[in-house]
Amino acid sequence: MRKFSLLITILALGLAVFALAGCGSDDDDEASGDEVTVELSEVDGSGQTGTATLTSEGEMALVSIQIDGDPVSESQPAHIHEGSCGDELNPEPLYGLPNVADGSSEASVEASVDTLTGDDDYAINLHMSDDDLETYTSCGNID
């Protein structure tokens, strides 16, 4: 009986250690800033929304854009700008991104996620098309 109790105790401790080891991994990823999701909101009634996900690649950030619903044009320029959405957005792009085609775009930029989420303000915005860069269709502040 004593061996059985010892075996049960060892198994219970093993399961507890295994369960606790799995609990901390998700919190560590979020706390280190390895991935940030930016909500892209419509601009001037364009109806275009979506998300941009920034994933850490060391000193670089992978930027993945997904548009909800149908795109407003076949190919939409996308950029990271200094400032925030609205009147405070610097119209000169800081980092160019590949055009959004078929509702998505993905590229790495030479800035870390920590830099883009730091003290300075940055935003991602999409334009109507290569021919209509002055019309913004969606924008999201990187926090």
Q: pTM of the prediction?
A: 0.75
**In CATH, what number does 35-142 get?**
2.60.40.200
CB 112 within 8 A of CB 62: no
Mean pLDDT score across all residues of the chain: 83
CA gap 36, 54 in Å, rounded? 5
3-state secondary structure of 17: helix
Rounded alpha-carbon distances, angstroms, from residue 13 to 2, 21, 24, 33? 17, 12, 17, 32
Average pLDDT of span 73-87: 93
CB 63 within 8 A of CB 97: yes
**Domain spans in the chain, listed from the N-terminal domain onward:** 1-30, 35-142
Average pLDDT of span 76-102: 94
